């Protein structure tokens, strides 16, 4: 068994403190551009700007690229969102349409 992807999650500031610096982001962008490994790279939506390749599903709406289902069955626009739509009997696609209307 091996890894199926490498998820890059640059630190986000919390309450105005911390977070990855602009210099570290520049270095990360360079590292991603130079990466030649076999494992796919993924990155959080909030850090995707400026990355060499950050459109995981070119024909999908942005919401569908980063949609996240948490352990409670709540569909969120990204894993960082605090609110979302509870997935009901109509299923995930219904919840996705509802989330798209609300965002």
According to the model, what pLDDT value does residue 1 have?
Answer: 57
According to the model, what pLDDT value does residue 60 have?
Answer: 52
- Name the residue ranges covered by the structural domains of the chain: 1-54, 57-103
**Average pLDDT of each block of 10 consecutive residues along the chain (103 residues)?**
79 84 91 87 78 57 72 88 92 89 84
Q: Quote the CA–CA distance of 87 and 82 in Å, as a whole number.
A: 15
pTM for this prediction: 0.52
According to the model, what pLDDT value does residue 37 have?
Answer: 84
According to the model, what pLDDT value does residue 89 have?
Answer: 94
């Amino acid at each position: 068994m091996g890894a199926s992807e490498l998820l890059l999650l640059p630190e986000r500031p919390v309450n105005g403190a911390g977070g990855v610096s602009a210099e570290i982001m520049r270095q990360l962008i360079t590292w991603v551009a130079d990466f030649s490994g076999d494992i796919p790279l993924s990155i959080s939506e909030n850090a995707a700007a400026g990355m060499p390749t950050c459109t995981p599903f070119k024909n999908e709406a942005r919401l569908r690229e980063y949609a996240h289902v948490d352990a409670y069955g709540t569909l969120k626009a990204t894993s960082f969102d605090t609110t979302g739509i509870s997935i009901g009997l109509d299923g995930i696609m219904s919840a996705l349409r509802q989330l798209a209307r609300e965002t």
